[in-house]
Each structure stands twice: as C-alpha cells, then as structure tokens.
A and B are shown apart, each in its own frame.
Chain A
Amino acid sequence: MRRVRAWLPGLLLVAPSIIAIGVFVYGMLGWNFQLAMTDKHSEVAEGTFVGPRNFIDIWDQPRWHLSVNHTIVFTIVFVLGALLLGWLLAFLMEKGIRGEGTFRAVYLFPMAISFVATGIVWRWLMNSGTGERAVGLNRLLGYLGLPEWHWFRDQDWGMAAMALPAIWQMSGYIMALFLAGFRGVPEELREAARVDGCGEWRVYRYVVLPMLRPVLLSALIILGHISLKVFDLIVAVSGKQIITDVPAVFMWVAVFDSHDPAKGATIASYIVVSVAIFVIPYLIWSVRKERRS
C-alpha cells in the first residue's frame, strides 16, 4: 500500500497523456484499420464488415501499382543519396576543419524550412521546359552544353528526380548524426590500432566504421519512415499528378476527391504497416539496449 502511494501520483500526472496516446494513436490506428475492412465507399454509406477484401482489391488498380513502384524508386534514391552525401560531408569534416560551424549551419538549414516552401523552388529548378522555354536546371544544363532532362516528369526516372529535393533537405541531418558518431569514437582506440601497425585506411575500416553501425541504423530508420509517408514534397512540387503519385497522395485523393473513406483507410493501413515492420523491432531493440547500459 505504501508502495502504491509512492507511485500513484506519478501515474495520475501522466494519465492524461496515456489516455490521449491510447485514444489518438492506438485507438485511431485500430479504428482506421477497422474502417479499411468495411465497404464504406461513400461518406453516407453504412459500412458493413467485408474482411480483408479492400486490401486485396486495391492491387487491381493500376494507380496503386504506380504509387507503390514510385515509392520504391524514391526510397532507394533518397535513402542511398542522403546516406552517402551525409556520410561524405561528415567524413570530410570529421577531423575538424576551419569554419566547421559555418559548414554545418549551411548543410543543416534546409531542415528548418517546410517541404512546401522548398518544393516551390524545386518545382522551378526541375521545370521540364526545354530549349527556349528552359528555366531552372535545364537552363543551366543548356549553358553547359549538357542534355536537358524532364526531371520529375520523366516517365521512368521521374521519382529519382523527386528524391533530389528530399536529399537536399535531409542530408545535413544525416551529416550531423554521422559527425556525432565519428566524434564518439575514442581517440585512444584509433591510436592503439595505429600502434599495432594499421594504416589510416585500416583504422577507418576496422575501428571507426564498426562503431558507426548504430548511427547508420538510426539514419536508415529516420530516412526510411520519412520516405514511405512522403507527402508534402510531392504535393508542393507536382500536386496530384499521376506521374509522381505515391500512397500518401493517393490516400488524400481517395478521401477528398473520390470521397471513399474505406479506400483511404486501406491505403493508410498499408503505409502504417510498411513503416511498423521495421520501426517496431528497432524501438524494442533500442529500449532494451538503453536498459542494459
């Protein structure tokens, strides 16, 4: 009883948040999932339970295939691009460099701006006009005598172009993560390896890189979950065009243009599952790791 008295006030203080998270996160995820299992295909429909039918039927829609393929291309280019660029910048700055603060500030500032605002510039930069009508990057390519490109309007690789603004926006963050990782490697460890006759490259390969693995994992999780739910950027650059459709935009269209709640909920469920598959193991792993230390 005394012990209960010791922790009860704490529980009471957190209770509003527990209820809020319970209702708004878990309750609504469940509610959404349940809605996806009904035939509520218009706002006034009653919505009776139909099982997983919507989840299967959506694969009959060409637009769904497109948006899934787009997400895959976008994710690969964005995640690899931001990781490589972020790592490169951190690697170059790792040993300390004059003006480091300025470099960091410049690489990180896109994080402070909304995708909607940067999307406006990138739409201009990646304008698909060519020749006389070329603006943005195509005009620069023209000056340099290089071939112009349709950027995000390219039939096959449009989503790779769409990943460019996302890389620009997020690689500074990844740089900061890696830089913190690099700086977390104790100098004595590197020194010990050097004394054992390792060259700089081997020190890097066998001492530093293995210690960056947790950072790499965090970076992958962050980039991956941003990529799977990408929405603002796509809307700002190209609106609702099919050529750059992704599940989050498709869901928006299903809710507001098609007025089909069950379809919207189905797409939303797929987005949640695609993120949960790798975030849940990661969370359990990192909480366990923290408890061990």
Chain B
Amino acid sequence: MTAVAGRHGAAFRWTRFGVLVLFVVVFLVPIYVLLVTSFKPLTEADPGQAWNLPRTWTVEAWRVAWEKLAPGLWNSVLLAVPGSLLSCALGSMNGYVLSKWRFPGADVLFTLFLFGMFIPYQGVMIPLVQLLVRLNELTGLDGVFYGGIPGLVLAHVVYGIPICTLIFRNYYVTIPDQLIEAARVDGAGMLRAYRSVVLPVSGPAIAVVIIWQFTSLWNDFLFAVFLTGPTSWPATVMLNNIAGAQATPYSQQMAAAVLASIPTMVIYVLLGRFFMRGLMAGALKG
C-alpha cells in the first residue's frame, strides 16, 4: 500500500517538476528573442531565420541603440535616483508618525492615503499638466516643471507617498513601543527618538522602498509621456519612439529594450529579496 502511494508520489513529483520546467522555458522565450535578435547582423534579418541563433554575432545593433538611447538613460538616472531618495525620506517620516506618534484621525488619514495608491493616474493627469504649465509661467523657469525632469520627479514623489508610507508604517509597527517610550522618558522628543531609535533599525524598509520606487520610476511611461518633452524624455519614452519608428530594425529595437531594462534587472538579480517584499506590501499585506 505504502509502496503504491510512494510510486504515485514520485510520479506526481516528476510531473510537477516537468510542468514547472516547461513554464520556465515559456517564461524565458521573450528573453531568448530579445538577446538573439539583438546580436544579429542586418543580413540575417529575414523572417526565415527569426528563431535561429545568429550565424555571425555582432554588437552593431547594440552600438547604434546605445547612441540613440543614451540621453534617455541619463534622464532616467536623473529622475529615478533623486526621486527614490526623496520618496524614501517622506515615507519614513510619515510611517513613523502614523505608527508611533499617532494623532486623532490618523486611521482615516491613512485610508485616504491608501486610495492614492490605487487611483488611475489618468484621473489627475490633465490638471497636473495644467498646474505644471502654470508653475513654469509663474517661476519663469521654462521647461523645468512641465517638460522637465524636476516636474516629473515632483509627480512621482507625490504619488509615491501612499505606497512608501504604507511600507514604512507596516515595518515600524513591529518596533516595540517601549523603545520609543524609553527614549521619551530620557527626554528625547519626537525627532530625537526617530534618529536614535527608529532610523538605526530602518535599513530593510529603506532598501525595500528605494528599490520599489527606483523600479517604478525607471519603468514609468504614463507620467513621462504626459509631462516631459524631447530633451527630458526618460528611457521608456525614448525606447518607445525608437521602436515605433518604421525604419528601426528589430535588432536595434531589441538591443534598446535590453539596455533600458538593465538597471532594474540588475537590481532584481542582486536584491530580489527586497523587491519581493515591496511587491507584497503592494498587496496590502502587513
């Protein structure tokens, strides 16, 4: 009896393993296409060889794609690095107050914040454009708020407040209240308690938030397409323009797509654990 069950168990285990491996192959197909196509010379671009490995490997497409995409990549760095740091600072302060220094109505406020996480940004886009245009006129800084990186950073930082606050709040809830109390008894005010008790243990939450925000800022297309212009296009918009042009060969499109994805892929490979936690926070699980 047990032997039969055991054999069934083994068969089930192998089927299970086989199905999972099959899906690994399916999931990797687009990556195969990206890499293989990007290394092909133009002479091998005919449909008959679509799935073949390149006969002669060349980085020509990569070189051209890099030339076209480099300004966008740089804009994305200027967007994603300050943007994620600012989001992190705001999220940490909010999370600290909403978990350890609560005021009347804090719960309602938190719920109102959370809705900001789910709103389709289309619903604020037209007024946002109008406001940023107005800010350009008022400050006399043409192409800074609307059509510039600072405006895009502003938008991302503001609309990133809900998720960043959520991640920090859920993390800080796990710090025992007694630690804060002890600091207060020693005469520490709110900010001192933050600096001496909370901040030193914030490492993991900071990593989660920075990785989360960096990835979403780097990959954003919607805000960028509405708020930026040719000189401030980040990599996603530039990539879409390159790929949308009829004349761009597939090899260059694919090489550009890989180039634009390298930073977030590297982060995912090196720091996947933190990336995962950000995703779980997005699911509203404490």
Contact = CB atoms under 8 A, between A and B. Distances in A.
B70 interface: no
Given A113-B219, A113-B261, A135-B47, A279 B283 contact: no
B165 interface: yes
A176 B280 CA distance: 8
A264 B126 contact: yes
Nearest to A105: B272
Contact of B268 (A29, A112, A251): A112
Interface residues of A, number: 99
Contacts of A231: 122, 221-222
Interface in A19-59: 20-21, 24-29, 31-32, 35
A188 interface: no
Interface in B9-47: 13, 16-17, 19-20, 23-24, 27-30, 33-34, 37, 47
Contacts of A11: 97, 103
B111 interface: yes
B109 interface: yes
Given A113-B261, A287-B107, A271 B120 contact: yes
A283 B27 CA distance: 33
Contacts of B59: none
Contacts of A275: 118-120
A136 to B, nearest CB: 7
Interface in B158-205: 158-159, 161-162, 165, 189-191
A35 B127 contact: yes
Contact of A29 (B123, B257, B283): B123
Interface string B31-75: 001100100000000011011000000000000000000000000
A129 B124 contact: no
A255 interface: yes
Contacts of B111: 283-284, 287
Nearest to A111: B279
Given A7-B101, A112-B268, A275-B119, A14 B30 contact: no
Given A13-B190, A107-B27, A139-B47, A229 B261 contact: no
B152 interface: no
B212 to A, nearest CB: 11
A173 interface: yes
Given A117-B239, A134-B47, A283-B118, A268 B126 contact: yes
Contact of B285 (A24, A122, A218): A218
A7 B127 contact: no
Interface in B235-286: 236, 239-240, 243-244, 250, 253-254, 256-258, 260-261, 264-265, 267-268, 272, 275-276, 279-280, 282-286
Given A17-B94, A168-B27, A218-B284, A291 B107 contact: yes
Interface string B80-94: 000000000010011
A229 B27 contact: no
Given A13-B97, A121-B257, A106 B120 contact: no
Interface of A is mostly: helix
A116 B260 contact: yes
B221 A116 contact: yes
Contact of B158 (A24, A107, A118, A180): A24
A50 to B, nearest CB: 17
A21 B162 contact: yes
A115 interface: yes
Contacts of B124: 24-25, 28-29, 32
B93 to A, nearest CB: 5
Contacts of A168: 27, 30
Given A11-B97, A92-B20, A120-B239, 14 more contacts: A9-B101, A9-B189, A10-B102, A14-B93, A18-B109, A97-B17, A106-B24, A124-B253, A134-B47, A140-B51, A268-B125, A271-B122, A272-B119, A287-B110
| The 10 nearest A-B residue pairs measured at CB | A114-B219, A10-B101, A7-B103, A272-B123, A112-B268, A229-B120, A28-B124, A31-B127, A10-B97, A117-B257
Interface of B: 13, 16-17, 19-20, 23-24, 27-30, 33-34, 37, 47-48, 50-51, 90, 93-94, 96-98, 101-104, 107, 109-116, 118-129, 131, 155, 158-159, 161-162, 165, 189-191, 215, 218-222, 225-226, 236, 239-240, 243-244, 250, 253-254, 256-258, 260-261, 264-265, 267-268, 272, 275-276, 279-280, 282-286
18 contacts: A8-B103, A17-B90, A20-B161, A29-B119, A32-B127, A111-B279, A116-B236, A117-B260, A121-B30, A219-B283, A225-B120, A228-B120, A255-B125, A255-B126, A272-B119, A275-B118, A276-B115, A279-B118
